[in-house]
Structure 1
Amino acid sequence: MTGCEYYERCRRFIKAKLNLLGTVFSEENKYDECFCKDCHERSGRPNAYRTGNPEQNAVHQIGWARFELDVHDHKIVYMKIHQKWHVAFHGTEADTVKPILDANMLLLPGDIVLGGDKLEQRKEHTEEHDEKFDPKNIFVSPSIKYVEQKSYAKSVSWIDEHTSTEYDAKVAFEVWIRPGSYEIHGQTLEAGSERIDEYFRNDSLEWFTKERPATVLYGLLIKLDSKQKHWSRFLPKFHLFWFT
């Protein structure tokens, strides 16, 4: 994937902010894809499509750039995951990307990540459900519009040294999830009757599972929204002269 400045900008963010080794990404990069507005319109792709067995709605992540991860191809082919499993998204924080990739899977709250730190339960999943709900699950959503909300994909500020522009950056994962392994729950963003995503009902926006191997990481997603030019690094040093 070349020729798109947005895609290249997202690549610079990965290198500068996430500090990831190239080995976590596919060497071929054949499924790297830019879904910025211009690239999506030129591609002629529909916004939504059907996938999996049984079939389920899936959406393209418009406004994001996808970087293909180095997944286990033999597992994908043997289990026909790309044909039979459903597509979903997992919003997260920039600091959580590396622990997830080190484990090569989405983790449950309470898991001990590489280095000994404990994965804490996100408060959104304890405050917004009833008392009988068990928040110790892996949460994904079929809707990219849902996971890009600040409760899930928390933004981090980043200055692109190449353009001197400050961005709000968000990160998420595109995953495959095994049909039958997950339960479906409604949105917990207090959206009321306002529909969050035209392709999914509000009562079907959260999928959750305790089955770690039921999700396979497929792509790292990056979204950048410009804030302002960051001129402070380039301002000349003025000398003040006082006259009496």
Structure 2
Amino acid sequence: MAAQQQICDNYGPNLDLLPAGTVLGLLVDSGSRLHLYVDGRDQGVAAGGIPQPCYVLIDLYGQCQQVTVVSDGDEVGAARARGDVEKADVVDGMKEPRWAPPPEAPPPPCPYQALCARFKELLLLPDAFFSPDPPRGRCFCERCHQRRGGDEGGGRGGGRDPPAPLGWCRYGLRPRPRAEPGALWAKWPRAFLGTDAGSVRRALDRGEPVPGPASVLCRPTNEEVGGTAPPPGPPRLVLSPALPYAALEPFATKVHFRDPGSQQALGARVAFEVLLRPGSFRPGPPSLRPPAGLAPPPGLDPAHLEWVTREPGAAVLCGLLVRVE
């Protein structure tokens, strides 16, 4: 065809009947004549008077599903010149993409995750503190947990890490620069620190828990209840490998707020997920009554629900946990 006029009859093989993998070639010789090659065999002159410059137009239609363009150069040149073009249907001169099944619909948003996110926004915490993956944090409500298979754990292996923080939303924190290489943190045991909403920003600013008037760091020890003065030195930090225990009062102080979305009066608790330097803490018995049915992580003594440390810099914050009640 030239200018929509047929110029050659009974020329070459029927291209619609060629098998997959057939190599076709076009050549304009020195006499401006067009030749067609099929698997390297010249089919003769197809047309003459080919103007210069000339260009190749490939129309994928009929039985043709895919075309690969190759050059006569070496393997590198051929690879660079190669391009795959998928078939398109042409209707009334307009190209329409081939039909494909619609992508699987994303799961509907979790209402509890959205509720926890609205409370987190009330804390006015800069995004720079948080890890971007996942961008909205991870929800561990029963629905989301079961949708992900229900067997995910919160640990990094070794059998001593706590299970998934069911009923909470977790927001990963960016690691702060420390003297220890990040690879060593994978060997540090993980625990939870209940705190109050007013202490979250100060802890994030420093990259470690800080004492405050409403912080668990100021909770009196068993020896201090009798009225004796607290011992000198760094404040006493009380953590637990069991999140339900770390979330008890007075560890995690419940804060009341009005949800901006539903305008309901609700309560919330916050806690930190931390990594503790090995050898920097002392396991001990609980000073509060543990919640009913509390099971400590596998491999841990049920009597050692409190981990106590006084060493500065022994705790690395790695996650913020939010629970709305």
Q: Give the alignment's TM-score, normalised by structure 2.
A: 0.56
**Is the CA contact (8 Å cut-off) linking 1:69 and 1:218 kept in structure 2?**
yes
Matched, 1:122 2:218: yes
1:28 offset after TM fit, Å? 3.8
**Is the CA contact (8 Å cut-off) linking 1:90 and 1:173 kept in structure 2?**
yes
User: 1:3 is matched with which residue?
Assistant: 109
Matched, 1:37 2:142: yes
1:52/1:43 Cα in 2 relative to 1: closer, same or farther (>3 Å)?
closer
1:171/1:205 Cα in 2 relative to 1: closer, same or farther (>3 Å)?
same
CA distance in 1, matches of 2:238, 2:137: 24
1:67/1:51 Cα in 2 relative to 1: closer, same or farther (>3 Å)?
closer
User: 2:29 is matched with which residue?
Assistant: none
Query: Between Structure 1 and Structure 2, which shows a larger proportion of helix residues?
Result: 1
User: 1:229 is matched with which residue?
Assistant: none
What whole-Å deviation, never above 9, does each CA across 1:92-137 have from its counterpart, x for those lacking one?
0111111111111113x4xxx8xxx897853353468898x96932
Cα RMSD (Å) of the superposition? 3.5
Matched, 1:147 2:243: no
The structure with higher relative contact order (CA 8 Å, sep 6+) is: 1
1:195/1:202 Cα in 2 relative to 1: closer, same or farther (>3 Å)?
farther
Matched, 1:46 2:151: yes
Q: What aligned pairs does 1:1-244 form with structure 2 within 5 A after superposition?
A: 3-16=109-122, 18-29=123-134, 32-46=137-151, 51=156, 56-72=160-176, 78-107=181-210, 109=211, 121-126=217-222, 136-191=235-290, 196-199=294-297, 201-225=301-325
After the TM superposition, which of the residue ranges 142-151 and 24-33 deviates more from structure 2?
Answer: 24-33
**Is the CA contact (8 Å cut-off) linking 1:195 and 1:202 kept in structure 2?**
no
Aligned residues: 214
CA distance in 2, matches of 1:163, 1:119: 29
1:68/1:213 Cα in 2 relative to 1: closer, same or farther (>3 Å)?
same
1:195 offset after TM fit, Å? 5.7
**Is the CA contact (8 Å cut-off) linking 1:146 and 1:197 kept in structure 2?**
no
User: 2:11 is matched with which residue?
Assistant: none
1:177 offset after TM fit, Å? 1.2
* Structure 2 segments unaligned to the other structure (5+ residues): 1-106
User: 1:228 is matched with which residue?
Assistant: none
